[in-house]
């Protein structure tokens, strides 16, 4: 089968993004996730099934099946901008590695167009899947949310064993691996917790960078739209001072740390 005919399920395409990889990028959001993070700002990403959601009082269908060709037909005109800025294509979600053939076909096609590729992933799938797709990924942005397994289970629904185990293998073989940490009050926002993740990151071969991303409440209305409860209550996002403190804590163990990503 031609790579362009590979089919997958997405719920959004964001063009001209300056996040999730270098330069100007297209971000494709794939549907389906292994985890159920309590703070998830894309709750419509979690189920693989196509869903109905209410947004601003209007019904919306979340999720569509598309081919790689249809995606590139939609974004092909933007590609010169991405090239000029050193940007490219990023897959996010959800967890893109749950649709590995589709993800791989998207990356191969992006490289054919001459743009770089990035994935934002938890890496918590069978390593064989990652091994197969890794040569096609230029920037692996890997979420490591907590080193404590019990806390990981309590806030994310599953343990962190696979994440920590795969991080070593990915670090050994990826072109660029950056560890990313969403900073979530009551979950991982103490200096000690961020330092523990930073220490873990420094223990990985070839890893020199970590990003810390402040919790925000932008996804809150989507929970209502899906008929779900928002489980983060009135928790307040960390302010700039707090994020600067946590950046210093991470850097104290010898890793370059950036706020945002």
Q: Which parts of this chain interact with ligand SF4 (CB under 6 A)? A: 33, 35-37, 40, 42, 45-46, 93-95, 122
Nearer to ligand SF4, 122 or 160 (CB): 122
Residue ranges of the alpha helices (H) in 3-94? 68-75, 79-85
Nearer to ligand SF4, 11 or 200 (CB): 11
What the block records as the tokens of 25 is: 């990028």
CB contact at 8 A, 105 and 3: yes
Nearer to ligand SF4, 32 or 253 (CB): 32
For residues 185 and 237, what is the distance between their CA atoms, to the nearest angstrom? 7
CB contact at 8 A, 198 and 211: no
Nearer to ligand SF4, 226 or 253 (CB): 226
For residues 178 and 94, what is the distance between their CA atoms, to the nearest angstrom? 18
Q: Please state the closest distance from residue 32 (CB atom) to ligand SF4, in A.
A: 9
Nearer to ligand SF4, 46 or 147 (CB): 46
Other C-beta atoms closer than 10 Å to the C-beta of 76 total: 10
Q: How far apart, in Å, are the Cα atoms of 252 and each of 52, 153, 169, 228, 257?
A: 46, 28, 25, 40, 10
For residues 30 and 155, what is the distance between their CA atoms, to the nearest angstrom? 22
Q: Which position has the token pair 């979950």?
A: 187
For residues 64 and 236, what is the distance between their CA atoms, to the nearest angstrom? 34
CB contact at 8 A, 17 and 24: yes
Q: Please state the closest distance from residue 81 (CB atom) to ligand SF4, in A.
A: 27
Nearer to ligand SF4, 35 or 139 (CB): 35
Nearer to ligand SF4, 94 or 225 (CB): 94
What the block records as the tokens of 243 is: 């994020």
């Amino acid at each position: 089968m031609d790579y362009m005919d590979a089919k997958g399920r997405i719920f959004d395409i964001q063009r001209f993004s300056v996040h999730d990889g270098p330069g100007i990028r297209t971000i494709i959001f794939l549907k389906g996730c292994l985890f159920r993070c309590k703070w998830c700002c894309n709750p419509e990403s979690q189920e693989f099934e196509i869903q109905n959601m209410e947004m601003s009082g209007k019904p919306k269908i979340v999720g569509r099946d598309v081919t790689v060709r249809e995606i590139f037909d939609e974004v092909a005109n933007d590609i010169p901008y991405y090239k000029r800025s050193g940007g490219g294509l990023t897959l996010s979600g959800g967890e893109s590695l749950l649709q590995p053939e589709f993800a791989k076909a998207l990356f191969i096609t992006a490289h054919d167009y001459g743009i770089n590729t990035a994935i934002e992933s938890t890496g918590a799938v069978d390593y064989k899947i990652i091994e197969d797709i890794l040569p096609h990924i230029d920037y692996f942005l890997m979420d490591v949310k907590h080193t404590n397994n019990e806390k990981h289970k309590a806030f994310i629904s599953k343990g962190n064993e696979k994440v920590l185990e795969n991080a070593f293998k990915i670090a050994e073989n990826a072109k660029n691996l950056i560890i990313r940490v969403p900073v979530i009050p009551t979950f991982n926002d103490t200096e000690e917790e961020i330092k523990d993740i930073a220490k873990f990151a420094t223990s990985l071969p070839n890893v020199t960078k970590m990003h810390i991303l402040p919790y925000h409440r932008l996804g809150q209305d989507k929970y209502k739209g899906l008929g779900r409860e928002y489980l983060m209550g009135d928790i307040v996002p960390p302010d700039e001072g707090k994020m600067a403190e946590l950046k210093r804590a991470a850097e104290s163990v010898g890793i370059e740390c950036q706020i945002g990503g």
